[in-house]
Structure 1
Amino acid sequence: MKLQHNTILITGGTSGFGYEFASRLLALGNTVIITGRNQDRLDEVRVKLPGIHTFQSDVSDSEQITLLFKQVITQFPGLNMLINNAGEMRMISFHDTSIDLHNITREVEINLMGPIRMVQQFLPHLKKQKNAAILNVTSGIALMPFPLSPIYGATKSGLRSYTKSLRVQLKSTGVKVFELIAPGSTTPLNDKFAGIDGFDDKMLMAPAKLIDAAIKGLMKDQLEIYPGLAGVMRVMSRVAPAFLLSQTSKVGAQWIASKN
């Protein structure tokens, strides 16, 4: 895929992967639009990345997605690429009775329902474009359970399955469907794990390096992109899934036990 002269919408673009994508794609000569829930952080990105376009929007709210679509298509009718990046990751113990029935599924609304709704809303427009693409950002955790963040893992596994089905259904259209299977990275998403038993931040990949691999994969039409340790996790999830689960179960084991 050519990554110049596109009009690209990135959800969750104020930090982490979203910000790195925005910076790189803007530098390559694309029109880049980002969304975020916090207007102050969007304003900060506009200062850091002159030329970026921003919209305050929450992917967990279907009405805001509808409004976002109307605003974006009106101002940027040439939109031809959607990057579903917005996400949330929490440490959750099922022993914690303070988490109510609404709160327990918050990551489902953001990480899974958000991308599904975004695609459903923008797909008819994307299908009209000569060259179009959808990139869903999943995780190495989509390949295995991660007991410390069980809802996050479930959402990324679900998004991975959805992405594969979406690719099959769109094979006769001009819309390419990519998946970025991201390994752990030094982003705000992982800051909360600092000091947690069994968590090794030395295993985390620098966001800039990860997005560099993602950009190269997109240019090569690599529909599934596995940067860094994600490639190792892919193999291990096939040949030794029980061993992999035993290792991931060690992360936060003491923290989970403390909540019992």
Structure 2
Amino acid sequence: MNISGNTVFIPGATSGIGLALALALQSRGNTVIIGGRRTELLEKIAAENPGIDTVQIDTTDAASIGAAAKQVLARHPGLNVLITMAGIMRVEDWRRPESFLASAEDVVTTNVLGPIRLIAAFVEHLQAQPDSTIVTVSSGLAFAPLKATPSYNASKAAIHMLSESIRLQLAGTSVKVVELEPPSVRTALLPGQETSEFAMPLEEFVAEAVALLESRPDAKEIQVERVKFLRYGEARGDYDQVVATLNAADPHGK
């Protein structure tokens, strides 16, 4: 995707990677709309960042996605980039069904059904634009599992294969599909992650990701250097070592 001159909608951008990426893209000359559930937080972000537009959306609710899409397209008919950022991560114990079943259902609804519904709401519009992009967000954990978060790992693996598949179907249209693959980043995705020495500083991640988007406009996957250890373990032939190292190093993997 081109790094400037776009109109970008990022649901799930009221904190963490989503908000940092929204501000970075705005600074590069893009019109940015962020979405989230809490209207008071959206209003605060808009007040603190002139030019950012906001829309209330709950990506676990199909009706909310449909209503938000109508609002966004009515106000921004030139929208040409959708970044499906919203996601949750939960620690689960799969030895006890009461520990994981409700969590797993929430994770799949947010991380898999949410992006599917978002893409469904915007894909026809995006195909009508001369140059457009869908950015999906998977994870290094799509390629090597953190044992504490089975449903999250599986949801991100699903997003990786979804991205690969819809890219094939949209070939020949104006829509590119780009998969953003973060490593562990210092956000509030899990308790303690914001201060974890294992996690990559948020500002460093976003700066490197945006630089990659700029330098590789035709990239299919955006991989900062720190995620390649996880992404290519199987290809290198050291997958078992990658999994062991990941789960020994990350406090949530113990």
**TM-score, normalised on structure 1?**
0.89
Q: CA deviation at 1:82?
A: 0.2
Task: State the shift of 1:229 in Å.
Answer: 1.4
Q: Check whether the contact 2:186–2:193 (CA below 8 A) recurs between aligned residues.
A: no
Distance 2:87 2:225 in 1: 20
CA-to-aligned-CA distance 1:106-142 (integer Å, 9 cap, x gap):
0101111111111111000000001100111111101
Amino acid at match of 1:244: V
Q: How does 1:50-69 map to 2 (within 5 A)?
A: 50-69=50-69
**One of 205, 229, 233 as aligned partner of 2:230:** 233
Cα distance in 1 for residues equivalent to 2:240 and 2:107:
26
Offset, 1:188: 1.0
Tell me how far apart the structure 1 counterparts of residues 28 and 77 of structure 2 sit (CA, whole Å): 20
Q: Is the 8 A contact 1:205 1:228 kept in 2?
A: no
Q: Superposed, which structure 2 residues align to 1:134-153 within 5 Å?
A: 134-153=134-153
Letter in 2 for 1:210: F
Measure the CA separation in 2 of the matches of 1:230 and 1:75: 36
Q: SS at 1:54's partner residue?
A: strand
Maintained 8 Å contact 1:183/1:228 = no
The answer to whether 1:180 aligns with 2:177 is no
| Deviations 1:151-207 (CA, angstroms, capped at 9, x unpaired) | 11100000001001111111111111101110111111133458xxxxx92221111
Shift of 1:147: 1.1
Question: Residues 203, 193 of structure 1: CA spacing in aligned structure 2 closer, same or farther, 3 A cutoff?
Answer: closer
1:130-209 equivalent positions in 2, closer than 5 A: 130-192=130-192, 201-209=196-204
Over 3 Å counting, the alpha-carbon distance change for 1:74 and 1:193 in structure 2 is: closer
Tell me if the contact between 2:92 and 2:103 (Cα under 8 Å) persists in the aligned partners.
Answer: no
Q: What amino acid maps onto 1:126 in structure 2?
A: L
Which residue does the alignment assign to 2:246? 248
Aligned twin of 2:91: 91
Using the aligned pairs only, state the percent identity: 32
Farther-moved stretch of structure 1 (124-133 vs 142-151): 142-151
Letter in 2 for 1:109: T
Distance 2:231 2:201 in 1: 19
Structure 1, unaligned runs of 5 or more: 195-199, 256-260
CA–CA separation in structure 1 for the residues paired with 2:14 and 2:56: 11
Q: Which AA in structure 2 matches 1:130?
A: P
Q: Measure the CA separation in 2 of the matches of 1:205 and 1:35.
A: 24
Q: RMSD of the TM alignment (CA)?
A: 2.0
- Provide closer, same or farther for how the CA distance between residues 253 and 177 of structure 1 changes in structure 2, counting only shifts above 3 A: closer
Change (3 A) 1:38 1:184: same
User: Does the CA contact (< 8 Å) of 2:135 and 2:180 recur in 1?
Assistant: yes
Count of aligned positions: 250
1:70–1:148 Cα change, 3 Å: same
Aligned to 2:207: 212
Q: What is the distance in 2 between the residues matched to 1:216 and 1:163?
A: 21
SS of the aligned residue for 2:34 comes to strand
Q: Which moved more, 1:237-246 or 1:60-69?
A: 237-246
Deviations 1:225-246 (A, max 9, x none): 1113101222323311222223
Contact 1:89 1:189 in 2 (8 A): yes
Residue 48 of structure 1, CA deviation: 2.2
Question: 5+ residue gaps in structure 2?
Answer: none
TM-score by length of 2: 0.91
Which amino acid is 2:173 matched to? Answer: T
The one-letter amino acid paired with 1:157 is A
